[in-house]
Amino acid sequence: MTDTAIDLQGLHKTYKGGQPALAGVDLSVPRGAFHGLLGPNGAGKSTLIGLMTGLVRLETGSVRLFGHDPERDPVAARRRVGLVPQEVNFNSFEPINEIIETQAMYYGLPRHRARERARVVLERVGLQERAERKPWGLSGGMKRRLMLARALVHEPELLILDEPTAGLDVEARRDTWALLQELNMAGTTILMSSHYLEEMRDLCQNVAVLKEGRLIANDIPERLFGADAGSGTGDQGLEARFLRLLEGGEPKGEDQP
Amino acid sequence: MNATILWNAYQGLVIKQVRRFLRSWIQNLLPSVVTATLFMVIFGQFVGRDLGQVGGASYADYLMPGLVLFAVVTNAYNNTTLAFFGARLQRHIEEMLVAPMPAWLIVAGFATAGVLRGLMAGALVMLVALPMTQLELQHPGIGLLVAVLSALLFSFAGLLNGIFARSFDDTSVIATFLLTPLIYLGGVFYPIDRLPAPWDTVSLANPMVYIVDGFRYSLLDEGTTGGGWTLLVLPVVTVSTGILAWWLVARGVRIKP
């Protein structure tokens, strides 16, 4: 059994007629880690997540999830992974409980177990009252919770989240943080992309920073942002330190090329 | 282990798709029954009385097998086209792509739902139209085989349409401008050997001729080609179309950037 949950080597991706979205990314995430993925818009975070989860066609490089190639052995690799995508991607014409049940069955759960798990995860994210309804009337935050429930229904060992708290109010964001920390404490490996620097600093054990398709840093938050970084917008604030990092100034991560 | 997981995933997809078309059964299943009933009453009963024997049977008896097949193939085709295009448009196809579901399983799931809808529509048409005829099933095994293979072929063909469609308009273009003329000119309403040259020969290039002819043979024990061509051509075309659909889904054409 490998101790590495995610092992990415030499990932390159160029979309048709565009600039390279990823230009040779290597990244390794150990089992049980809470790993952040940070970078400005267009840095390649969603492409990286798409390549890991089968949503984007792999050009060159290799993806290994728990030691398995998801293309060659999808059952061994993908069954252990849950994804919360950045954009809403459920069927709006299907009742909420059926969305979750179906996803559970896609991951190989038998129907009775899928029903049971759907009930459990919907209760966990506070959507049990709306289980029989279609998701038309859900608020933005509720839609995110629905996608989180869907990603958790098969009890994945690795949870990948693409900006899961974008657009959430403070309370909903804190609820999501608490749930993610609880899952991580229970052994779930988490890879999360976000634009919220406080989220990265407070939740993640390690943060990988992408810029223009390259990994420019991969280190503990204290070394990336400085142990004394505050939340303000001043020179010593997180934002200023992150911008300096992107510009190539101090501080540098251990894996910086 | 893997087989059970894949079986559960397949069931999940089929259940989801069957629920989808049954949720709107008035829109999805009834139109075929209404159209077939009108054809049977107007052409089979009123106009048909003056036509005498056609292809060795009364016109109502001659017409009915073609109408059943018409319902089977249009329902199978429309089901997979709209289901697959809808999944792409709303992006819930991603629920399958992230799960441990190989491309062949996705194709099989969509095709099965198409076959089920096609057969349900065909059975309903038969139920309504049969009392207006003197028909008895002569070769039920051949009839069922032709109906299932036809539904499967047009499910695969609908999937191809669903893969390439860029808008809702594209989902109806093939059905309106290719499928419907092929069916109407494929011997549903008249024996092709009654057509003047060269149209009788040209008609032999229409695959619907063999499908309708084989199904008519199963009910009437009469047919231009005696059912043999149907059982020879249909499986080959069906398997080829299925392989093409699988290849496109496996390559991620129009699904994965």
Complex confidence, ipTM: 0.90
Asked if residue A31 has pLDDT above 50, the reply is yes
pLDDT score for A159: 98
pLDDT score for A251: 41
Residue A74 and residue B252: Cβ atoms within 8 Å? Answer: no
Q: Which residues pair with A215 in a beta bridge?
A: A210
CA A94 to chain centroid: 25
Residue bearing the bigger pLDDT, A248 or B104: B104
Q: Is A245 on the interface with B (CB under 8 A)?
A: no
pLDDT score for B217: 87
Least confident piece of the model among A73-87, A197-211, A213-227: A213-227
Q: Which helix (H) or strand (E) holds B6?
A: helix B2-23
Residue B256 and residue A150: Cβ atoms within 8 Å? Answer: no
Mean pLDDT, to the nearest integer, of B104-123?
Answer: 98
Residue A55 and residue B90: Cβ atoms within 8 Å? Answer: no
Residue A107 and residue B99: Cβ atoms within 8 Å? Answer: yes
Mean pLDDT, to the nearest integer, of B230-245?
Answer: 91
Kindly report, residue by residue over A104-132, the tens digit of the pLDDT: 999 999 999 999 999 999 999 999 999 99
Asked if residue A249 has pLDDT above 60, the reply is no
| Out of A57, A90, A111, closest to residue B252 by CB | A57
Q: Which residues pair with A65 in a beta bridge?
A: A6, A68
Residue for token pair 């009788």: B200
CA distance B61 to B65: 8
pLDDT score for B224: 60
Least confident piece of the model among A14-28, A80-94, B212-226: B212-226
Residue A55 and residue B97: Cβ atoms within 8 Å? Answer: yes
Give percent of chain A with pLDDT exceeding 70. 92
Residue B95 and residue A77: Cβ atoms within 8 Å? Answer: no
pLDDT score for B213: 86
| Out of B19, B87, B100, closest to residue A108 by CB | B100
Residue B99 and residue A77: Cβ atoms within 8 Å? Answer: no
Distance in Å, alpha carbon of B247 to nearest chain A alpha carbon: 14
pLDDT score for B89: 95
CA distance B257 to B253: 8
Residue A89 and residue B11: Cβ atoms within 8 Å? Answer: no
| Out of A56, A87, A104, closest to residue B256 by CB | A56
Strands A4-14 and A60-65 come out as antiparallel
Distance in Å, alpha carbon of A245 to nearest chain B alpha carbon: 30
Q: Which two tokens stand for residue B181?
A: 């003329």
Asked if residue B153 has pLDDT above 50, the reply is yes
pLDDT score for B137: 80
Asked if residue A216 has pLDDT above 50, the reply is yes
Asked if residue A240 has pLDDT above 60, the reply is yes
Residue B5 with chain A: CB contacts under 8 Å: 75, 79, 107-108
Strands A81-84 and B53-54 come out as unpaired
| Out of B11, B92, B256, closest to residue A105 by CB | B11
Which of B11, B95, B256 to substitute to test the interface with A, most A CBs within 10 Å? Answer: B95
Residue B12 and residue A77: Cβ atoms within 8 Å? Answer: no
pLDDT score for B17: 97
Kindly report, residue by residue over B60-87, the tens digit of the pLDDT: 898 899 999 999 999 999 999 999 999 9
Using a CB–CB cut-off of 8 Å, the residues of B that contact A are: 2, 4-6, 8-9, 11-13, 15-16, 19-20, 23, 86-87, 90-92, 94-102, 252, 256-257
Distance in Å, alpha carbon of B106 to nearest chain A alpha carbon: 10
- Going from N- to C-terminal start, the domains of chain B cover 3-251
Contacts with B, A 77-116, CB within 8 Å: 77-79, 81, 83, 85, 87-94, 98, 101-111, 114
Residue A75 and residue B91: Cβ atoms within 8 Å? Answer: no
Q: Please, what is the average pLDDT of chain B?
A: 90
pLDDT score for B98: 96
Give percent of chain A with pLDDT exceeding 90. 70
Q: How confident is the model at residue A14 (pLDDT cuts 50, 70, 90)?
A: very high
Kindly report, residue by residue over A184-208, the tens digit of the pLDDT: 999 999 999 998 888 898 899 999 9
The b-or-e profile of A186-212 (16+ CB within 10 A means b, else e) is eebbbbbbbebbebbbebbebbbbbbb
Residue A78 and residue B98: Cβ atoms within 8 Å? Answer: yes
